[in-house]
Amino acid sequence: MKILITGATGVLGKRITKHLAKIHDVAGLTRTKSGADMLHTLNARAYIGDIRDKAFVFDMVNSFKPTIIIHQVTDLKHLSSQDNATIRKIGTQHIVAASLAYHVEKLISQSISWAYEAGKETATEDTPLDLAADFPRKTTIDGILALEKATQQLAQHVILRYGTLYGEDTWYQKMGISISNF
């Protein structure tokens, strides 16, 4: 199976890449030469570029011809919900358009679980997103909504709503919040 991982050098992306590259033909998207070097050590091909560049995304998908894309891109290094929402909107639009154009079979996209509207019961898959949120939360909700709607354009898709990550390489480490790894 050919699997393309966007955000392949991120907290989850590098772990997913490491495991899948042992048994599949894997390529990863990264923005840097050092990220490409890391992907090569994980036995994955590397594409250096920006997911916000539509032509680059189309070229990458056409070149690698993945069966599945695992979409893990975030933009959290400057602690900006606007940057992260923008990459979710634009990057996902490009990935979906390229997936449809080049017949990618399945798209698995990263979303977040803490975006549901408030309620008295535990949230479930049927709980709506908090579409009436005030700013700045609305920025995040709008990014998630755009990502999920775009992902649903592929007949075979999965949307994974993650919770807050903690531990090595995340913001939440033993010494507190850290963005030095991003």
pLDDT at 182: 37
Residues in the chain: 182
Whether 42 shows a pLDDT value over 60: the answer reads yes
Query: Two tokens at 33?
Result: 């030469």
> Rounded to whole angstroms, how far apart are CA atoms 38 and 98?
25
Asked if 43 and 21 touch (Cβ cutoff 8 Å), the reply is yes
pTM here is 0.90
| Phi, psi for 84 (deg, rounded to 5) | -65, -40
For 93-134, what is each residue's pLDDT tens digit? 999 999 999 999 999 999 988 888 999 998 888 899 999 999
- Which residues, at least 6 apart from 57, have a Cβ–Cβ distance to it below 8 Å? 49, 51, 91, 94, 95, 97, 98
| Phi, psi for 80 (deg, rounded to 5) | -105, 115
For 44-96, what is each residue's pLDDT tens digit? 999 999 999 999 999 999 999 999 999 999 887 777 789 989 999 999 999 99
Mean local confidence (pLDDT), 143-155 = 97
CB atoms within 10 A of CB 106: 17
> Rounded to whole angstroms, how far apart are CA atoms 140 and 134?
10
